[in-house]
Structure 1
Amino acid sequence: MGLTADICDEHKDNVVLANPIFHHYGNTTTFSGPVQTVQVFEDNVLVKQALETIPEGSVLVIDGGASRRYALMGDNLAAIAQKRNLAGVIIHGSIRDAGEINKMPVGIFALGTTPFPSIKNGEGKRGTSLRFANTTWEPGSWVYADEDGILVAEKEL
């Protein structure tokens, strides 16, 4: 059984299942960790800052407003996540360089891909509560993600 299936067997009442709107990228298919958040729109300056500074083992959750026009992450930012040993990344938006990212030992869930790079204005917020995919993503809550889905819990299970 997978991570999320086992968690649902033991802790079904303590988790919320995110709507299955995401595609998986990278060759790490299972990850879990505490949530760190970024809210941006078509601008990835704060995404890069978060990748460079959040604690090792964290899951960076990015609310990109569901935009599919500009990528919030490419292979260079995925390499930062890999180098810093982040658990994974969940993006309510798009990535680019999917072919390269799929060869990397990272776990990323995103809505899809686009070739366009992001805007670089540095606008957005870090460390705030986010709401998308029928789920609330609070900094410090826990994410469990694998091929079966993405679960969110208030604390580590």
Structure 2
Amino acid sequence: MSIKTTDLCDEFGASARVLLPIFQDLGGKPDFQGPAVTVKCFEDNSRIKELSCQAGAGRVLVVDGGGSDRCALFGDHIAEDLVRNGWAGVLVYGYVRDKAVLRTLPIAIKALGVTPAKSTKRNEGQVGLNVTIAGQTIADGDQLFADDDGVLVLDASRVQGAA
């Protein structure tokens, strides 16, 4: 990644919305940048599975799982789909599993942590909603940046300024 979050904070000031530092790096890469695709789901990964099978085109999957630690919203199979389909990264306000495999994949995965329990499939969840996680609201299409220093969001209208 060529653009550092620290440089973006310096350049954009308060309009660079920094997420609270609550995420762990669980993928094989520490950084991502790209437009957000938001999904809101609680203990059901049906929408995540559907999205992982679509062309990512360098986008970042932003999952609002409500912070639940009762189950993982995805593991190695979905992560492998995300890599295969060209997603830039995943930000999960929730938990994932298969940490040992996730660390070997060439994708950035930031989540609250890991748990071995799998999610249910009730065909629930919504795509494209504004989600509020880690102190910031993220809209579908907002530009996300993440590296070892943290995660930040720029409004979609600022994308040209960050490119």
Alignment TM-score > 0.5, same fold:
yes
What secondary structure is seen at the aligned counterpart in 1 of 2:52? helix
Query: What are the superposed Cα offsets for residues 34-78 of structure 1, whole Å, 9 maximum, x if unpaired?
Result: 000110011101111112225411000000010011100100010
C-alpha RMSD of the superposition = 1.3
Q: Name the counterpart of 1:136.
A: 137
Give, as a single letter, the amino acid of the residue that structure 2 aligns with 1:105.
P
Q: Name the counterpart of 2:150.
A: 149
Give, as a single letter, the amino acid of the residue that structure 2 aligns with 1:124.
G
Instruction: Return 5+ residue gaps in structure 1 as ranges.
Output: none
Q: Pairwise mapping of residues 93-108 of structure 1 onto structure 2 (< 5 A)?
A: 93-108=94-109
Deviation at 1:17, TM superposition (A): 0.4
- Does residue 17 (structure 1) correspond to residue 22 (structure 2)? The answer is no
Q: Name the counterpart of 2:82.
A: 81
What secondary structure is seen at the aligned counterpart in 2 of 1:72? coil
Query: What are the superposed Cα offsets for residues 63-107 of structure 1, whole Å, 9 maximum, x if unpaired?
Result: 001001110010001001111111100000000000110011110
Q: Name the counterpart of 1:27.
A: 28
Q: Name the counterpart of 1:70.
A: 71
What secondary structure is seen at the aligned counterpart in 1 of 2:140? coil
Whole-angstrom CA distance in 1 between matches of 2:55 and 2:72: 21
What secondary structure is seen at the aligned counterpart in 1 of 2:81? helix
Give, as a single letter, the amino acid of the residue that structure 2 aligns with 1:137.
I
Whole-angstrom CA distance in 2 between matches of 1:6 and 1:27: 23
> TM-score, normalized by length of structure 2?
0.92
Q: Check conservation: 1:141, 1:154, Cα contact below 8 A.
A: yes
Q: Name the counterpart of 2:5.
A: 4
Give, as a single letter, the amino acid of the residue that structure 1 aligns with 2:37.
Q
Q: Check conservation: 2:55, 2:86, Cα contact below 8 A.
A: no
Q: Check conservation: 1:91, 1:109, Cα contact below 8 A.
A: yes
What secondary structure is seen at the aligned counterpart in 1 of 2:117? coil
Q: Check conservation: 1:29, 1:107, Cα contact below 8 A.
A: yes
Q: Name the counterpart of 1:123.
A: 124
What secondary structure is seen at the aligned counterpart in 1 of 2:73? strand
Tell me the matched-pair count. Answer: 157
Q: Check conservation: 2:17, 2:136, Cα contact below 8 A.
A: yes
Give, as a single letter, the amino acid of the residue that structure 1 aligns with 2:26.
Y
What secondary structure is seen at the aligned counterpart in 2 of 1:67? coil
Give, as a single letter, the amino acid of the residue that structure 2 aligns with 1:129.
N
What secondary structure is seen at the aligned counterpart in 2 of 1:91? strand
Give, as a single letter, the amino acid of the residue that structure 2 aligns with 1:95.
V
Q: Check conservation: 2:65, 2:94, Cα contact below 8 A.
A: yes
Whole-angstrom CA distance in 1 between matches of 2:56 and 2:133: 23
